[in-house]
Amino acid sequence: MNGFINVNKPAGITSSDVVVRLRRKLIGISGNKKIKVGHMGTLDPAAEGVLVIAVGNAAKLFDYFIEKKKVYTAEFTFGKTTDTLDREGKFTAENGRLPDMDELKAAAKKLAGEVWQIPPAYSAKSVGGVRAYDRARRGEDFEIPAKKVSITDVSIVSFDGERAEVTVECKGGVYIRSIARDLGALCGTAAYMSALKRTRAGAFKIEDAAELDALLNGEINLIPTEFILEEFPKFDADISLFERLNNGARPRIDGMPKGNFVLYCGGKLFGIAEGESGELIVKTRLIGNDG
């Protein structure tokens, strides 16, 4: 049992909650108590939208998935903020100043690109070997180092004088709560993320996502592993090489694509590979035990 589930995560539960519930369901279907189930990028408990769940060997593709484009629709509230930078936290600052639409649009342009972003204090980032949210809950003073992230676009869709609807396109590792904080700071005020919905994660779109309750109470049809590999070049090695590849050999083969490619062997998906100096090197195996 290998593949993906595109879940429309409801607000109010953690991404781990979704994984636990679906894993229980999949164990009941497969009878395999060791089946691997995990998400391909967390959503905060207060957030909703696309949560991609990987099943079996599909979980090995996380590193290839994390850099895919993600799209969010968020609501930012200005003039005040919270300790968690979202609606779940306690209000910590209020200056009352509200920006106008022109200010917001000008500031939003400054947040796009390859930029340095400081994660929220209430995040899973490790600081001195301890999760930042654990330090924050204990009231400790600490600093989280900024990290370089890729934000394609920050657009202000609408603004009612206090709350703005914002769309964000970015790669993995971006904190939308931090964008709310930074957008407010650029406008000389405070801000926090009051709502968040992920509408796309790589090839997975919100319009194709299944409701969690429907999955738990009905059938689960896994999306094939190849779904997120469509953009990779493909190469089919002769079936006579299967045992050698399965044992870690690096046979010399002509005609392989450059860079990473999807490797088939005798027409069956084998994994992600690359050709280096004519050698076929398997980087990620997608065949065999799906655990």
Helices (H), the chain: 15-30, 62-65, 101-109, 132-137, 176-186, 212-217, 242-246
Determine contact, residues 232/68, Cβ cutoff 8 Å: no
Measured at the CA of 109, the angle between CA 189 and CA 113, to 5 degrees, comes to: 115
162 to 72, 79, 199: CA distances (angstroms): 20, 7, 23
Q: In Å, what is the CA distance from 60 to each residue of 18, 99, 165?
A: 19, 45, 35
44 flagged as catalytic: yes
Catalytic residue among 17, 44, 160, 236: 44
Q: Which residues contact 137 (CB under 8 A, 6 or more apart)?
A: 122
d(CA 47, CA 151): 19
User: Hey, CA dihedral for 199, 204, 206, 212, is it positive or negative?
Assistant: negative
Classify the phi-psi angles of 105: left when phi > 0, otherwise alpha if psi is within -120 to 50, otherwise beta: alpha
The letter for the amino acid at 122 is Y
Instruction: Using alpha carbons, list the distances in angstroms from residue 239 to 70, 243, 272.
Output: 37, 9, 16
Q: What positions carry a catalytic annotation? A: 44
